[in-house]
Amino acid sequence: METKVIKLDYASLDQVLLQEAGAVLRQGGLVAFPTETVYGLGGDALNPEAARKIYKAKGRPSDNPLIVHIARREDLHRIARNISPEAEKLMESFWPGPLTLIFQKTEQVPAQTTGGLSTVAVRMPRDMIASAFIQASGGFVAAPSANVSGRPSTTTAAHVEEDLRGRIEMILDGGQAVIGLESTIVDVSEEKPVILRPGVITREMLEAVVGEILVDQALIQPGSDIKPKAPGMKYRHYAPKAELIIVEGNSEAVAREINRLVNQWEQEGKRAGVLAAEESKGQYSQGLVKSVGSRKQEEEIATHLYQVLREFDETEVTRIYSESFADARIGAAIMNRLLKAAGHRVIQV
Ligand code: AMP
Ligand code: MG
């Protein structure tokens, strides 16, 4: 299949092109599109056949449910029921934006879209192209991240092409995704809201709106036998091709240990990479060193993480040693993704 790439300009959205993309979706095809978090691989959420195509294009296990994207609050009731007062408050504060909420689903949503669950994940993106595209598509777009399953999520149209060219009908190019990490997921289908996946809408921000909020135990004790409530969180994810290992401890000790490990690896004739913060990248004398951004700008690290992991894929590097990052606020989301990419391999120094 030929994949058509369409460049769109935020300053003057081309309605004709958006209608063309919407028509592809209405006819059951797949269109990748930019959102403020990462690129999404969209299909008609109310069409079971489209959901099947999404799983196939990504090579994603079909028990891993998709997030349904909407463009208007009033469309929510068609796909979700039992909307709690907490959910209303969260939507009031954070929609449109990088927050996904889990509700009880209505009959309208096919089981293929929700991986057989009786709940549905819903998000209303803030991105103008995403919003216009969803409206042109009939209002309900099922979209996981637009990457091949197991690879880092895509934050540019070029990344999407790398992974999905020839497997989908169309890619809408809106430049670089501003946030760079997937949405925060909060389950509001039961008594108390629970965070299932951390994101740039932090626990502190959510608690300021609805009071104390629980965190899925599987996130607190990763690597344990506790089954995550977001089925997708159980898969090794966001992984670069090279083996990734995180080194954690005080910054001097971390630099010393990474230098030693890189030296050891390269003495065996293999190439090593270092994933470092802007402040400490100068401490590494060997290996391919890449900065992911300043520790003082967590947003910047979030934006660049997947891009840097993909850049390593273009190189000869077979082992990457990464510094660790603070685990509070947005750092919680950054470390969640980094730990998953590393398959939870951490060296403490
Ligand atoms: P992705 O769109 O690739 O970021 O993946 C969507 C994430 O949302 C996966 O981790 C899913 O497991 C999670 N998710 C989607 N629907 C549900 C649901 N109904 N209940 C819990 N988690 C969900
Ligand atoms: Mg994903």
Inter-residue long-range contacts of 201-205, CB under 8 Å, 24+ positions, other chains counted = 201/94, 201/97, 201/98, 201/99, 202/329, 202/330, 202/332, 202/333, 203/332, 204/329, 205/94
Q: In this model, does residue 50 exceed pLDDT 80?
A: yes
Our separate counts of H helices and E strands in the chain read 11, 17
> Helices 157-164 & 298-313, crossing angle to 10 degrees?
40
Residue nearest atom 23 in ligand 1 by C-alpha distance: 230
Residues 196, 187 contacting (CB under 8 angstroms): yes
Q: How far is the CA of 269 from the centre of ligand 2 (A)?
A: 34
Given a contact cutoff of 8 angstroms between Cβ atoms, the answer to whether 22 and 44 are in contact is no
Ligand 1, CB cutoff 6 Å, lining residues: 64-65, 67, 102, 114, 117, 119-121, 144-145, 182, 185, 196, 229-233
CA of 41 to the centre of ligand 2 (A): 10
Are 311 and 295 in contact by the 8 Å Cβ rule? The answer is no
Ligand 1 atom with the shortest distance to the CA of 64:
12
- Distance between CA atoms of 43 and 29, rounded to whole angstroms? 6
- Residue-level pLDDT at 263: 97
Q: Are 129 and 8 in contact (CB under 8 A)?
A: yes
What is the best residue among 66, 105, 181 to mutate for testing ligand 1's pocket, by most ligand atoms within 8 Å of CB? 66
Alpha carbon of 65 to ligand 1 centroid (Å): 5
Pick the atom of ligand 1 nearest to 153's CA.
Answer: 3
**Nearest-angstrom CA–CA distance, 70 and 127:** 12
Which atom of ligand 1 lies nearest, measured to the CA of 143?
Answer: 2
The 10s digit of each residue's pLDDT in 266-298 is 999 999 999 999 999 999 999 999 999 999 999
Burial class of residue 317 in the structure, from the number of CB atoms within 10 Å of its CB (0-12 exposed, 13-18 middle, 19+ buried): buried
What average pLDDT does range 151-165 have in this prediction?
Answer: 96
Q: How many CB atoms lie within 10 A of CB 165?
A: 13
Atom index in ligand 1 nearest the CA of residue 119 equals 19
3-state secondary structure of 154: coil
170-173/4-7 β-pairing: parallel
Question: Global pTM?
Answer: 0.95
User: Is it the case that residue 129 has pLDDT exceeding 70?
Assistant: yes
Q: Is the dihedral of CA 43, 132, 199, 257 positive or negative?
A: positive
User: How many Å lie between the centroid of ligand 1 and the Cα of residue 321?
Assistant: 29
As a whole number of angstroms, the distance between CA 87 and CA 104 comes to 12
Counting residues of the chain whose pLDDT is more than 90, the rounded percentage is 89
